[in-house]
Amino acid sequence: MANVVIIGTQWGDEGKGKIVDLYSQDAHVIARFQGGNNAGHTLVVKGVQTILHIIPSGILHDGKICIVGNGVVVDPRILLQEIDQLKERELLPPKTKLYVSEDAHLIMPYHCRIDSAREAKKGAGKIGTTGRGIGPAYEDKAGRCGIRMVDLLDLETFRERLFRNVEEKNFLLTQFFKEDPVDGEAIFKEYSEFAVRLKPYIANTSLIIDEELKKGRRILFEGAQGSHLDIDHGTYPFVTSSSTVAGSACCGSGFGPTQIHSVVGIIKAYTTRVGGGPFVTELTDEIGDRIQKVGHEYGATTGRRRRCGWLDMVMIRQSVRLSGISGFALTKLDVLSGIDKIRICTGYKYKDEIIKDAVPSDLKILAQCEPVYEELDGWTEDITTTRELASLPANTRKYLDRISQLSGVEIYLVSVGSGREETIVLKNPLRGV
């Protein structure tokens, strides 16, 4: 038995979808434990792209149990659209089961409306949310007025809680944001229809996970976003509204921490960011543009252009500390091919101080930090067909070695292309080899 947590080590967009898809081949259960449809996990199988926003990335494999955990906030419209699209494309395997936690909170139409209205009101000071209602849904969860999946199974309870919330949300929309109100009756009708379709999927997923653990099954826990978007440990307030570090897998899925055997951190060969906030290694020159174009760096959910920069080891070391990362899965290494000189940020210079192990919590300080770079020779070879570490160019191997040295963490896997097969596997934590 081996249970593995997969998390992002940067600001998300590290390529978790591909890695979860790969590891799912050796897992029996794949459980998504936080976030919402603000995350987009992209899978490329036999040249065909599939983007998932809520359903775990292991869904393409037959004979699996895929779980949307209690820590996820679910927009039922999006979830049903994903299910329908997978069925239409014949990508939902017949023996794979999908369950949604009865304790998962629902994203409601008023959450999306408030999310967008709040961003518009902030103007230049906006955070850069996706407008999907994620933050307001988590606010209601913390405020103990959220509506959960289980409430859809009792429409009387659902209606009572819905209209209590609609009264408050409409006051906020009309009086503070000067927006039109939402129609409670229309929402009730729409979500009542969702309830009929979702009923077969709603379950006590914590019990399902426990039953599989007792059978000695291998479980893969899939996170969304990245460590530096964590609500507690990220570059607040330019963060998401959930906890993205490995410890969240326990809370967001309903199992104990003693059952985790390994934590795999997904690390992109460079750094990207969507939305606002300080970005110490950001490149605004032709190299940054090249990385953006070659890497096709656009948000899978929003389509927004990602900001690009050199790999930041201060961020990575903090992620290692926060999640107890056992090994890295390094992605998009092929994007750096053809760059003459490659830089790695080994520290931040702030006034007369060198910062190496922690990203400053004070964003005013972080914005004034300058990167301390180490420069390495690049490579020109096409590495997308390489399947053995020893076959990589010498300079590529030096780059990988330096990442391990600076982080103190070994590399389990190297992705050299977007396809499932374009991968060098060094160690499989699910199999212990």
- pLDDT block averages, 10 residues each, the chain of length 433: 93 91 94 88 72 88 96 97 91 93 98 92 71 94 98 96 97 96 98 97 98 96 95 95 97 96 98 93 96 88 85 98 98 97 98 96 97 98 96 98 98 94 95 72
Q: Are residues 90 and 166 in the same domain?
A: no
**Geometric angle at alpha carbon 361, from 358 and 366, rounded to 5°:** 80
* Domain stops at, among 244, 262, 280: 262
CATH number, domain at 307?
3.90.170.10
- Answer whether 380's CB lies under 8 Å from 337's CB: yes
Alpha helix locations (H) across 331-391? 363-368
Check residue 128 and give its pLDDT: 65
Among candidate residues 218, 233, 262, the one where a domain is terminated:
262
Can you give the pLDDT at residue 301? 62
Domain with 52, as residue range(s), is 4-101+202-262
Q: Do the bridges between strand 341-350 and strand 370-377 make them parallel or antiparallel, or are there none, so unpaired?
A: antiparallel
433: in domain: no
Give the pLDDT score at 182: 97
Does the annotation mark 296 as catalytic?
Answer: no
Find residue 266's DSSP bridge partners: 8, 329
Residue 279 sits in the same domain as residue 359: yes
Report the pLDDT value the prediction gives residue 120, as an integer from 0 to 100: 86
Q: ω into residue 237 within 30 of 0, thus cis?
A: yes
Tokens representing 215 are: 């059978």
Catalytic site residue from 28, 41, 53, 233: 41
In this structure, the answer to whether residues 316 and 383 fall within a common structural domain is: yes
Predicted pLDDT of residue 26: 95
The active-site residue out of 13, 115, 151, 312 is: 13
Rg of the chain over Cα atoms, rounded to whole angstroms, equals 22
Residues 258 and 401 in one domain: no
Of the residues 141, 168, 197, which one is the last residue of a structural domain? 197
**Are residues 226 and 357 part of one domain?**
no
Helix (H, G, I), strand (E, B) or coil at 365: helix
Whether residue 137 is found in the same domain as residue 159: yes
Task: Locate the DSSP E strands across 122-233.
Answer: 202-203, 219-222
* Model pTM above 0.85: yes
Report if residue 230 sits inside a domain: yes
In the residue annotation, 13 being an active-site residue is answered as yes
Give the pLDDT score at 154: 96
Instruction: Report pLDDT for 380.
Output: 96
432 occurs within a structural domain: no
Q: Answer positive or negative: Cα dihedral of 390, 395, 399, 404.
A: positive
CA distances from 3 to 125, 220, 249, 257 (A): 41, 6, 11, 10
Residue 135 sits in the same domain as residue 231? no
Number of domains in the chain: 3
Q: Which residue has the tokens 């963060």?
A: 239
Q: Are 164 and 309 members of one domain?
A: no
- Tell me, what CATH number does 11's domain have? 3.40.440.10
